[in-house]
Amino acid sequence: MKTKIRWYKHLYLSPSLEDMKRVVRYEIKYKKVPIGYYLLTLPSTSNNLFDIWRSEQIHMPWMKNQVLDVVGVAASKEEACEMAASIIYET
């Protein structure tokens, strides 16, 4: 079984990816090794506010049977960190 991905209804995208929302979601979900994206997900432990995953990691064997609630997608780790900060400041 593959990693199950649940997408946030109002998905956050970094500015460089905003015009490619459908392409990004398709590549992450169906491509064997989606390269070049960072996923901002709800935390896996209570110590975190968010988790940041490289898109290459989500199809690894140790991620099988995991459920990821994706809140945002960024083109770089720096953009993913900025996105997390802006979401935190927003609430």
pLDDT, mean of residues 66-84: 93
**pTM of this prediction?**
0.86
pLDDT for the residue numbered 78:
94
* pLDDT at residue number 27: 86
Structural contact between residues 40 and 71, judged by C-beta atoms closer than 8 angstroms? yes
Q: What percent of the chain has pLDDT over 70?
A: 97
pLDDT in tens, 31-60: 777 788 999 999 988 999 999 999 888 888
Q: Side-chain half-sphere of 65: how many Cα atoms within 13 Å?
A: 1
- Per the model's pLDDT, the better-predicted residue between 91 and 26 turns out to be 26
pLDDT value at 24 more than 80: yes
The tally of CA atoms less than 13 A away on the side-chain side of residue 69 is 8
